[in-house]
Structure 1
Amino acid sequence: MTKRSLTDLLAQMTLDEKIAQLVQLTPNFLNDNDANLTGPLASMGLNPEAVWNVGSVLSAVGAKETIALQEQYMKNNRLGIPLILMADIIHGYRTIFPVSLGLASSWDMELAERSAAIAAKESSVAGIHVTFAPMADLVRDPRWGRVMESTGEDPYLNSEFARAFVRGFQGSDLTGDTDRMAACVKHFAAYGAAEGGRDYNTVNMSERQLRESYLPAYKAALEEGCELVMTSFNVVDGIPATGNRKLMRDLLREEWGFDGVLISDWGAVQEMIPHGAAEDNAEAAHKAIAAGVDMEMMSSCYAQSLKELVQSGQVDEEWINESVLRVLQLKDKLGLFDNPFRGADEQREKEIILCDEHRQAAREIAAKSCVLLKNENVLPLRAEQKIALIGPFAQSGDVLGPWSIWGSQDEAVQLFAGLAGKTDVSRIAVAEGCGITSGTEAQAQQAILAAQDADVIVLALGEASEMSGEAGSRSDIRLPEVQLQLAYRLQQLGKPVVAVLFNGRPLDLHGIIDVADAVLEAWYPGTEGGNAIADVLYGSVNPAGRLTMSFPYSVGQVPVYYNSYNTGRPLTPANADQRYVSKYLDIPNAPLFPFGFGLSYTEFAYGDLAISAAEMGETDKLTVSVQVTNAGKTAGEEVVQLYVRDLAGEVVRPLKELKGYRKLKLEPGESADVQFTLTEEQLRYYHSDLTFASDAGLFEVHVGPNSRDTAVQTFRLVK
């Protein structure tokens, strides 16, 4: 439809119909209308007629259900306006990929895009039109459970992943390609900076810090064409994001030019009341519509109050018209006016979902997401070795992680099954050893017995999925004590120990890193997790994952992140014995494992770092080069990382900032010349007056395999 046609349609709508288009409900509100008269409908302040004008439904899935729901809706909608069906498709629909923090460890945008495209294809054939992804929140606190949904602590890398996910979900022709779906970037803004790592908690930072670190990834998603934005639960500068007019209308709409649909998170409009920013539903509705929130998810402020606010003159009806038009435009972009059922197809659904091609992709991506943190000549395993597979994740299907709502643990490959595909099953002894948080002496003894004849002990440890994700904040981010005790007792047998970790956040690894001879971070690897991990453990895949978030030495360091500021009294090797410097008395300042870290089954040697000039003008391009050689005996992939430090800025600058990276695949003995190009634009930052510019002066350029182990050269920017 043309914009004129949509405007004409809008003109035919009553005020009640328009307000209903701005409401999102779950499908139960539509499925049994009569039963809802005195139940959910009444509690939401909706009448039965309003239900058939509701603009969207969330969490209806499956072609049979979505087609029936749309048919029923279209029969009852006076103007024939179709329903949008939305759902949380975070890291896969039925074929589940690693959680986002794990997938980010691949440092591979093609894999990220591919995973989103497969998720979109499975979701679309099941009748879903919009996903609430990607999450572009930058996170520096691993106590926050939703870190598993993030891609880490770096604004540049987060931005690249946000772009890749949007490309994968939406493709290049959202209207014509019914195997794609609209993406909704979230949570705008700075949800990942919740104080204390406690979900839904306060966010407090300067606008300069917000713009420099937290906003870039959202903006990148929008530049890639992302169709929707979701508000965050937290306050921004003391005002809940969902009612924050400066954030939503001034920055998002006016400054960035976003004209897509802005949707609240679940109940976030009404939550302005307990926040202390609204006295009642009417004030919450007023503030949200004034901020430009187009759609209210699962609370009733709009339904109960907007009509009266318009009739009393407190709300300009033009605000509502603008929001309704944006909702109608999204429906048109999705092609729903021409085909309300879009890609939903029961027969294709059977052919596409969990097909071999998708499973193979999940296996490949999960293997490339694993990060080898330690290896003292234990890995890779050999097929002739006897393995004792022990731990609560040895035969657990809980490998999908949070937000794998539509996935099935029964369809997931357990670690035992993966190992059994690499060696004769008679060589594998299995014991649980303990549960996730509790265990018995009988379980421990069974594990010790299973390990007696083994050549290698593989410990499958971690967090249950409900210990991570939304509302999964933890103050103690070590492995549960019962698992650490099991590991210690098994170490006493004197056999090599390999720890495989299943978790959704960076952990404090004390108690396992010093017990195990090898540690593989597998995250929640998804549907093909067992096969993927076995591929890595047995060397079919050489681990190439690199951390996108620092692993703390202790929770007492948190937040600890690579791109931090220096202090006036920085800790250095030369002053480490002095008291009056910025340090802890009981632990190091540095994380246990830094951003960008990851081991391989081979070794990579870096040559001398070179830069093309000692000075760089505003229009010049500086070339940074280094030779990298595979000095080992196995083919492998390296992630060569480029960092820059501005040594003296108008505002203090981070110790390092990632500006680029290159993934290399090298055969044994093979070398490659890696070149990066730096421009003045890459040296810009937000100054104290919020201007975005660079400063003349001295800079460091760092190149290495992670943010800690780098070679350095200096150059001067001349203006």
Structure 2
Amino acid sequence: MDQKQLTDLLTKMTLEEKIAQLLQLTSNLHEGTEDQGQITGPMEEMGLTTDMVRASGSVLGLSGAASIIALQQNYMKNSRLGIPLLFMADVVHGFKTIFPIPLAIGCSWDLELAEKSAEIAARESAVSGIHVTFAPMVDLVRDPRWGRVMETTGEDPYLNSLFARAFVRGYQGSALAEDNERLAACVKHFAAYGAAEGGRDYNTVDMSERQLREYYLPAYKAALDEGCEMVMASFNTVDGIPASGNEKLMRGILRDEWGFDGILISDWASIREMIAHGAAEDDREAAYRAMRAGVDIEMMTPCYVHHLPNLIKSGLIDESLIDEAVMRILQLKNKLGLFENPFRGADPERERELLFCDEHRQAAYDLAVKSSVLLKNNGVLPLQPDSNVALIGPFADQEDILGWWSCVGAKEDAVKLGTAMKERISGKLTITAGCNFDSMDAKQLELALDAAREADVIVLALGEESEMSGEGGSRTDITLPKAQLELVQHLKQLNKPIAAVIFNGRPLDLQGIFDEADAVLEAWFPGSEGGAAIADLLIGRMNPSGRLTMSFPQSVGQVPVYYNVFNTGRPMDPSKTGERYVSKYIDSPNEPLLPFGYGLSYTTFEFGELQLSRSEITADQHLTARIRVTNTGARTGVETVQLYIRDMTGEVVRPLRELKGFQQLKLQPGESKIAEFTISEDMLRYHHSDLSFTSDPGRFQLFVGPNSRDCLQASFKLV
């Protein structure tokens, strides 16, 4: 359809039909689905009529080509004007083929592979009938207590923005109408959901607008600049107003300032939740505030269908706002080609061919390898294939390695670490749990100790169950469960070499394992091919190259701890150990255990002299920073060379370091390559107190190194 045809269609719609287009329901409320027996109760609870359901505009959570085709067919029979449904789902890090969690993907620092993972997820989803994914989640997070940290790519606004763009490219491709195996992307959660106080899900967010714009908004804006079709409102407050009813945020920044004209959708029931927030008296006021803010689709609450007709009749809401929202929905349906083909890419035969195919599993393997981070190694890794190995721990032979948002991925399809190790270790391999995730009995411990005594090396497979992170998975204690730490202590007494593999959805407080183990490999939730990838890293078939995108705390008492901090007026001088009246803890270092950008390899890298092409630049000039990096070890490896800049004096305080670029260099043993970075004035801009985005003349420090802590440095001026 062209725009005129869409406008004509809109004029033919009754007010009730238009408002119903704004309603999103789960599939069980619709006729023609296998679980339609659940219709009556929920419909009565929500006060929905059959006509409302039959005219609703989108469906949440249904997948499978046959099921979606059947529901769409039944829906179209009852659609007076032939307007098809939109089908949406949480395809966060894979559909059937599950990739590592997004936090792990961030640690790969591999934008190309991240884009490929989104493309594969889109293709699997689209042939199964899905049109829209509620991804990417680009919330910046500094607090690992928050369970949904597993959905983000980390604590840095620059890197998060790059990944936001990569994911949108992967999901959407270049032409949704022409490629039926891509999805419309929905960036979330707008805005600043990752800054929930105390790391507690759904909790209050309160910060200055300058802080919001400087750190939290850039990744959303990057996703929209890449063409992201939809935005999801967050659950939290922003400046005291719930996001779903926040006119300044949604109409002021998102619509007017940024020019976004796509669909804005609420999160699950978040419009009605304005009542619990204390920002709306009842459903009627919630509908009023959300529509005024510009929320187009209401997910799983009936505030719009019940109250917008009367709000329009009373003159409190202009019908033109409804028309704008409906037109945005019609435009996306048209862009997806649904008016010509309501079933779009849904294809049961193609679905059987594509889902979890070898090509997709290979990509999942590659990303699991690249996202794992070697945190410590005293020479225990890589293992010798002919070693006698005791593989001990609750993850030793565990299939719960997909993570919280695993869509239709099946745990039983995941390659378990124990299975993969059996195929790779030619020496004796003994596998035993040692303990459960959070409990231990005497027999489990006895079997673990017996296995360890017979082994040359102990591999501990420890971590969190998937339910310990994800939505609603906030924790105050982010150490490993006590039973696992007790297991470590018992095995440590045998004086055998220990390599620990950690499976988890967040940066952990590694007390009780980091000092005790000779090597620590951070595996995250590595996805469908996780066991194979981790096994190949352990035996050295693959060389670890991941780098952290969130800092690991010394203890939870440091949280939030992140690299791009301010200096304060009383900075601590590490060389002066007796100072009290400076910004420090008296019982802990200020610095994290492991900094942003950190990661080890089975080889070593040497950084040469940092050279700048000039010492001063103007707004029209740039300088080049060059550094030679040499592989000084015996194995081929990848080094991620990172560029940071500090503005020494700003109109507002500036961070000690800010990531401004990176390059990944693959080097053969003895090989050297030059990493080169171009620095221009636009890289030096920031939000001033009046919210202008400009730079200040003056002195800057430039840092280059393998992580945010261990850098060479030089200085230059902006004049």
Q: Counterpart in 1 of 2:14?
A: 14
Residues 36 and 638 from structure 1, CA distance in 2 versus in 1: closer, same or farther, beyond 3 angstroms?
A: closer
Q: Does 1:195 align with 2:197?
A: yes
Partner of 2:479, secondary structure, is coil
Q: Counterpart in 2 of 1:407?
A: 409
Shift of 1:420: 1.6
> Within 2, Cα distance between the matches of 1:597 and 1:97?
22
Stretches of structure 1 that go unaligned for 5 or more consecutive residues are: none
Q: Counterpart in 2 of 1:350?
A: 352
Q: Counterpart in 1 of 2:173?
A: 171
- Spell out, residue by residue over 1:215-253, the C-alpha distance to the aligned partner (whole angstroms, 9 max, x if none): 000000000000000000000000000000000001100
Please give the residue correspondences for 1:68-467 in structure 2 after superposition, counting only pairs within 5 Å. Answer: 68-424=70-426, 427-467=428-468
Are the aligned partners of 1:44 and 1:303 in contact in 2 as well (CA < 8 Å)? Answer: no
Letter in 1 for 2:630: T
> Within 1, Cα distance between the matches of 2:533 and 2:385?
16
Are the aligned partners of 2:387 and 2:457 in contact in 1 as well (CA < 8 Å)? Answer: yes
Q: Does 1:41 align with 2:43?
A: yes
> Within 2, Cα distance between the matches of 1:35 and 1:630?
64
Partner of 1:52, secondary structure, is helix
Partner of 2:709, secondary structure, is coil
How many residue pairs get aligned? The number is 717
Residues 706 and 37 from structure 1, CA distance in 2 versus in 1: closer, same or farther, beyond 3 angstroms?
A: closer
> Within 1, Cα distance between the matches of 2:413 and 2:400?
11
Letter in 2 for 1:667: Q
Shift of 1:441: 1.5
Partner of 1:520, secondary structure, is strand
> Within 1, Cα distance between the matches of 2:687 and 2:399?
46
Partner of 1:180, secondary structure, is coil
> Within 2, Cα distance between the matches of 1:676 and 1:45?
60
> Within 2, Cα distance between the matches of 1:218 and 1:71?
35
- Spell out, residue by residue over 1:535-578, the C-alpha distance to the aligned partner (whole angstroms, 9 max, x if none): 11111111000000000011111100000111111011233321
Are the aligned partners of 2:30 and 2:39 in contact in 1 as well (CA < 8 Å)? Answer: no
> Within 2, Cα distance between the matches of 1:194 and 1:98?
24
Q: Counterpart in 1 of 2:691?
A: 690
> Within 1, Cα distance between the matches of 2:37 and 2:490?
58
> Within 2, Cα distance between the matches of 1:365 and 1:540?
15
Residues 518 and 36 from structure 1, CA distance in 2 versus in 1: closer, same or farther, beyond 3 angstroms?
A: closer
> Within 2, Cα distance between the matches of 1:282 and 1:216?
33
- Spell out, residue by residue over 1:185-244, the C-alpha distance to the aligned partner (whole angstroms, 9 max, x if none): 000000000000000000000000000000000000000000000000000000000000
- Spell out, residue by residue over 1:358-394, the C-alpha distance to the aligned partner (whole angstroms, 9 max, x if none): 1111111101100000000011111100110100001
Are the aligned partners of 2:29 and 2:39 in contact in 1 as well (CA < 8 Å)? Answer: no
Shift of 1:313: 1.3
> Within 1, Cα distance between the matches of 2:218 and 2:715?
27
Are the aligned partners of 1:208 and 1:688 in contact in 2 as well (CA < 8 Å)? Answer: yes
Partner of 1:31, secondary structure, is coil
Alignment identity in percent?
Answer: 63
Partner of 2:368, secondary structure, is helix
Q: Counterpart in 2 of 1:517?
A: 518
- Spell out, residue by residue over 1:635-689, the C-alpha distance to the aligned partner (whole angstroms, 9 max, x if none): 0000000000000000000000000000000000000011100000000000000
Larger mean Cα displacement after TM superposition, 271-280 or 34-43: 34-43
Letter in 1 for 2:570: R
- Spell out, residue by residue over 1:457-510, the C-alpha distance to the aligned partner (whole angstroms, 9 max, x if none): 110000000000000000000001110110111111111101000000000001
> Within 1, Cα distance between the matches of 2:191 and 2:132?
20
Partner of 1:637, secondary structure, is strand
> Within 2, Cα distance between the matches of 1:666 and 1:576?
40
> Within 2, Cα distance between the matches of 1:469 and 1:37?
29
> Within 2, Cα distance between the matches of 1:380 and 1:147?
30
Q: Counterpart in 2 of 1:556?
A: 557
> Within 1, Cα distance between the matches of 2:163 and 2:40?
46
Residues 280 and 634 from structure 1, CA distance in 2 versus in 1: closer, same or farther, beyond 3 angstroms?
A: same
Shift of 1:32: 6.5
TM-score of the superposed pair, with normalisation by structure 1 = 0.99
Shift of 1:44: 1.8
Are the aligned partners of 2:566 and 2:654 in contact in 1 as well (CA < 8 Å)? Answer: yes
Letter in 2 for 1:545: G
Are the aligned partners of 2:492 and 2:516 in contact in 1 as well (CA < 8 Å)? Answer: yes
- Spell out, residue by residue over 1:14-42, the C-alpha distance to the aligned partner (whole angstroms, 9 max, x if none): 00000000000000000369866752112
- Spell out, residue by residue over 1:297-335, the C-alpha distance to the aligned partner (whole angstroms, 9 max, x if none): 011111111111111111111000000000000000111
- Spell out, residue by residue over 1:377-430, the C-alpha distance to the aligned partner (whole angstroms, 9 max, x if none): 011111100110100001110000011031100000000111122123x62101
Are the aligned partners of 1:37 and 1:47 in contact in 2 as well (CA < 8 Å)? Answer: no
> Within 2, Cα distance between the matches of 1:39 and 1:670?
68
Are the aligned partners of 2:32 and 2:74 in contact in 1 as well (CA < 8 Å)? Answer: no
Stretches of structure 2 that go unaligned for 5 or more consecutive residues are: none
Q: Does 1:28 align with 2:28?
A: yes
> Within 2, Cα distance between the matches of 1:492 and 1:275?
52
> Within 2, Cα distance between the matches of 1:321 and 1:37?
29
> Within 2, Cα distance between the matches of 1:50 and 1:235?
30
Are the aligned partners of 2:380 and 2:519 in contact in 1 as well (CA < 8 Å)? Answer: yes
Larger mean Cα displacement after TM superposition, 568-577 or 348-357: 568-577
> Within 2, Cα distance between the matches of 1:223 and 1:503?
32
> Within 1, Cα distance between the matches of 2:576 and 2:391?
46
Q: CA RMSD in A?
A: 1.0
Partner of 1:421, secondary structure, is helix
Partner of 2:122, secondary structure, is helix
Partner of 2:105, secondary structure, is helix
> Within 1, Cα distance between the matches of 2:12 and 2:331?
16
Shift of 1:709: 0.2
Partner of 2:139, secondary structure, is coil
Are the aligned partners of 2:32 and 2:70 in contact in 1 as well (CA < 8 Å)? Answer: no
Partner of 1:457, secondary structure, is strand
Partner of 1:574, secondary structure, is coil
Letter in 2 for 1:584: Y
Are the aligned partners of 1:153 and 1:561 in contact in 2 as well (CA < 8 Å)? Answer: yes
Are the aligned partners of 2:640 and 2:662 in contact in 1 as well (CA < 8 Å)? Answer: yes
> Within 1, Cα distance between the matches of 2:405 and 2:307?
32
- Spell out, residue by residue over 1:79-121, the C-alpha distance to the aligned partner (whole angstroms, 9 max, x if none): 0000000000000001000000011100000010000000000
Are the aligned partners of 1:44 and 1:304 in contact in 2 as well (CA < 8 Å)? Answer: no
TM-score of the superposed pair, with normalisation by structure 2 = 0.99
> Within 1, Cα distance between the matches of 2:255 and 2:395?
47
> Within 1, Cα distance between the matches of 2:485 and 2:366?
30
Q: Counterpart in 2 of 1:3?
A: 3
Letter in 1 for 2:698: G
Letter in 2 for 1:162: A
Q: Counterpart in 2 of 1:714?
A: 715
Are the aligned partners of 2:92 and 2:407 in contact in 1 as well (CA < 8 Å)? Answer: no
Q: Counterpart in 2 of 1:650?
A: 651
> Within 1, Cα distance between the matches of 2:77 and 2:429?
59
> Within 1, Cα distance between the matches of 2:687 and 2:342?
45
Partner of 2:331, secondary structure, is helix
Letter in 2 for 1:261: I
Are the aligned partners of 1:37 and 1:48 in contact in 2 as well (CA < 8 Å)? Answer: no
